[in-house]
Structure 1
Amino acid sequence: MGDQFDVIEVGERGRRRSIGLVVVFVLLLVPIVGLIVSREPEPQPPPEAVLPAPSPIRSLTRMENDTPSNLTAPVTTKGGDEVIEVVFPHGVRAEVRYPARLGLADLGSRPFQGVWVGERYREFVAPYNGEIEITRGGEPLRSYAPNVTLWPRQAGSRSYGQVLLFEFGPWRLAMYDRGEGLTFDQRTALARALRGTVTKDGYLVLSAKTDIRLAEPGDTAEGDPAGPQLRFGGGVGPMLALVPTPDCRRQARQTTAISGRGRPADTVCRDGVLVAATGPHWFRRLAVEEIRITLK
């Protein structure tokens, strides 16, 4: 009996040993297979479909700039001088005589006019680079009148806010709001009240109704001349302003449009008109010494 039990015990141990070896073999085989599989390259995703390029945004492709920013006047000559006829924004005509080297006719002129809306002072300027300087090829925020649109605040405009852009024939006048800003009613009243007429020779003459008051020659606001002006040139080149100023020698003040450009500036009073110039020394010297103006 003892031998039988011994034989049976030996057989069970053999089977257990075989099962143990199989288990160990399986445990070793699984990670090896996993390692081999992990080394196979991952399947690549199918190539993305090539989509057509989106259509250009309309507001970024409107680049019209066919409006004048500076008016070039016809020139006549007298001796070695050039003579041009100009019209200030309040309708007064003048003859401007200057040395041909100044080239004022080639620089072109554009209007400036200060205005009071109630008790708030604002300025109207014709943008040097035309309406594209305001619109940037975009779309207006809203319209206040058929010829008046509202545009976003310009980048780098510091204390200035949104811009009202007025259309008078071929001319565009920009009013940069600032500070507290005009109310909706004030903007609407201004849009309805300001009128512009283009003369036969292309100059813009302004008028206003209701509570809107245009600054007159000799008026000042915030330390600057606020009345009607003509400005010649600009940008990176020389610039000159003609500012009708009664009793000029006593009331004349330099305009920051000239003195605030970071370059030397000179002024002189000629025949009831302030002449302010910035640019090269020769340009300033000829402007203050040689320009002659006859108001009509």
Structure 2
Amino acid sequence: MTERLNDGLWAWKQSENNNRMIDLQRDAPAGGPVRLAYFGGSAFRITAPSGLRLMIDPWRNPPWGTWNWYLCEFPEIEVDIGLSTHAHFDHDCLHRLHASTLLDRLIGRYEFADVAITGIADKHVSDTSHADVDWAGLTRKLTPMETLPPDNWRSFDNTLLLIETGGLRILHWGDNRPDPPREVWDRLGHVDVALLPIDGSQHVLGYEQIETLRERLQPKVIVPHHYFIWNVTHRASTLGPPGEWMARQGNAVWTDDAEITLETDWVMQQTDLALCFGDRVSFDPPDPARASDRHDGA
């Protein structure tokens, strides 16, 4: 375990370089749509009109090694900027990215090329009495970890990430609590696309809490994440698929692909659209039926 913790980042081994960032630093191309790709868990790649690529919340299995959430490792892919909303294993696998810039739990504002990212500090959900499994309550009972604000441990902090590019304001909620203080709402302002943790077990947000967020944020589009995918996620995660929540929506669409184009005009024409990737992810997961592909020791 000590060796694993002391490995540190390994960007020094990567063959890529920051030439793309140097070019964008000189002159970022303007115009074009925003693209959104899903990688399972809470991981999304956002590609700005300039071509700048952001990856938010890449995942990994728990570092203690006794049980797994995922059937495979997160793909080693090249992006320009890697971001993480909080220090939980299913959101913080920045070391797997081949990235020029890493923004871990960003608080404040970062601007580059045609992208502006605002990190708003708040707290991870700590009341999960609404969920199928009250995992936050069990954490308090079974470990010394403090999950309740304001004296919570670091892993129960959360950063809300607001990405502005291509005329859109895209919010990644991470695992934030559903009732942040007013100053957080004021900083968020209006949101066009909300990436919210929604699954059948109501692991992070309960269905009623999601509706409250919808009323406060009034996004044109809601995109679920943090849900069970049959060939990516272990049943041991206790997560459920998003189908039940999607079936409750009056305006629901399942994507045909793992990456979609978000045309600004199209987004602005939407009203309460629930847009879900389902089990479509932007990499090739291993076949979970093949024992050689499994990472759970079975």
TM-score normalised by L of structure 2: 0.28
Q: Which has the higher contact order (CA 8 A, sep 6+)?
A: 2
Bigger Rg over Cα: 1
TM-score normalised by L of structure 1: 0.28
